[in-house]
Amino acid sequence: MRRPPMWQVAAAGLAVAGAVTAAVLVSGSGGGTVKHSAPATAADGLRHTAVDASTGSCGRGWIRPRTGTQVFDLRNTGANATEVYLTDPHSGTVYGEVEGLAPGITRPMVVDLGSGSYAFKCLQEDTDAVTGPTVVVPGTIPRGPAAVPVTQHDLIPPTLAYQKWVGDRIGDLGRGVKALEADIDGGDLAAARRDWLSAHLVYERMGAAYGTFGDADGAINGTAARTPGAVQDPDFTGFHRIEYGLWHGASAASLRTPAAKLVGDVKALDDDWSQERMDPADMGLRAHEIVENAEQFELTGRTDYGSGTNLATARANLDGTEELLDRLNSLLVPRDPGAAKLAAALKRAEADLDAAHHGDTWTPLDRLAHDRRQRINADFGDLLEQLAPVAAIFDVRRTA
């Protein structure tokens, strides 16, 4: 799942997708020339400017620069697909982008421009980047949303550090599920319920690694279909299979096989982890996805098989998000003016979840006061909004 750039997020409410102005006229076929006219206000109420996005004439057509929210209608007159960035030619900061612009196609780029120097950069497949002419927008108007590009190389150190942290947590997970198995083997189901939650929360804190876990994630933490008898499916295994039994009166003897399988699946994950490689390009997106999944599955109770611990799981998910953001912090703070607001939103959501924690127990979702549940839902909605730019900032871009 790919997140839109933050300048597109900011302009998402503008009905400009697919707009093509009459200022773009193509003569001939294939790689013909583009004839430009002066910028014009289109039906969407925004000023449109036709700009060439081929490497041979990258950025040509922008002749009357101005500030404010506007649309560049980018036409690829070249023979190959290209990416197009609107940049500050001195710092490399990106103010807008269009990806995968096919030959002969026109697509809009929505931007909010302040005063300063800009240049289009065109990156055709299998060729070096070409930077077009510098255009100076006059005045003293502050610039709009932007980000200095993050490269794959930038993300390798935090990814390796996070992967090592996950490896250590898998070790903790292994010890936790063995304790759970020992409780079940000994017939102490009260202790099993306590150790189930402890081990499950260890797993839930590693959300950014689930994609790298592959099939192991389904075996360890998969859910059953919402149909009658689905919990009896032999393919329903892992934490939630044991949760269902522990909170629905199953005997210790009936849970020994699921517990042994969980221990085996965690051991297999631990044995394989040193050979796995997380994709650095996924790091920023995962921070958003962890909270998105918590909102979708935990705050709705869809993953509750009897324990009533969805809020504990959501709190562990926030721990995982915070761990990931800590690894990315040195890259994020210089690029995201809203980093402090994001940190405050995360702390607010954590505090409101902590209010539902009482010693060894958590308030089940269906016992939360209505206003408390609304507040937690609002916290997560705000947090997702603050995380959207993070996914955009860490979307790896070519720079040359």
pLDDT digits (tens, 9 = 90+) for 115-136: 999 999 999 888 889 999 999 9
State yes or no: pLDDT of 211 exceeds 50.
yes
Which tokens in the block code for residue 82?
């290209």
- In terms of Cα–Cα distance, which of 385, 368, 215 is closest to 304? 368
Closest CA to 367 of 310, 325, 296: 310
> Which of the four pLDDT bands, split at 50, 70 and 90, describes residue 39?
low
Stretch among 6-20, 90-104, 318-332, 343-357 having the lowest mean pLDDT: 6-20
Q: Are the C-beta atoms of residues 58 and 361 closer than 8 Å to each other?
A: no
Greatest CA separation for the chain:
81
User: Which conformational region is residue 210 in: left (phi greater than 0), alpha (psi within -120 to 50 degrees), or beta?
Assistant: alpha
Contact between 71 and 17 under an 8 Å Cβ cutoff? The reply is: no
Here the tokens at position 399 are 């720079």
Angle between helix 239-246 and 189-204 (nearest 10) = 150
pLDDT higher for 308 or 31? 308
Task: State the average pLDDT over residues 277-292.
Answer: 94
Q: With the CA atoms of 333, 338, 343 and 348 taken in that order, what torsion angle do they form, in degrees rounded to the nearest 10?
A: 180
Stretch 213-232: mean pLDDT, rounded? Answer: 93
pLDDT tens for each residue of 299-339: 999 999 999 999 999 999 999 999 999 999 999 999 998 99
Whether this prediction's pTM lies above 0.85 is answered by: no
Those residues whose C-beta lies under 8 Å from the C-beta of residue 366, and which sit 6 or more positions away, are: 301, 308
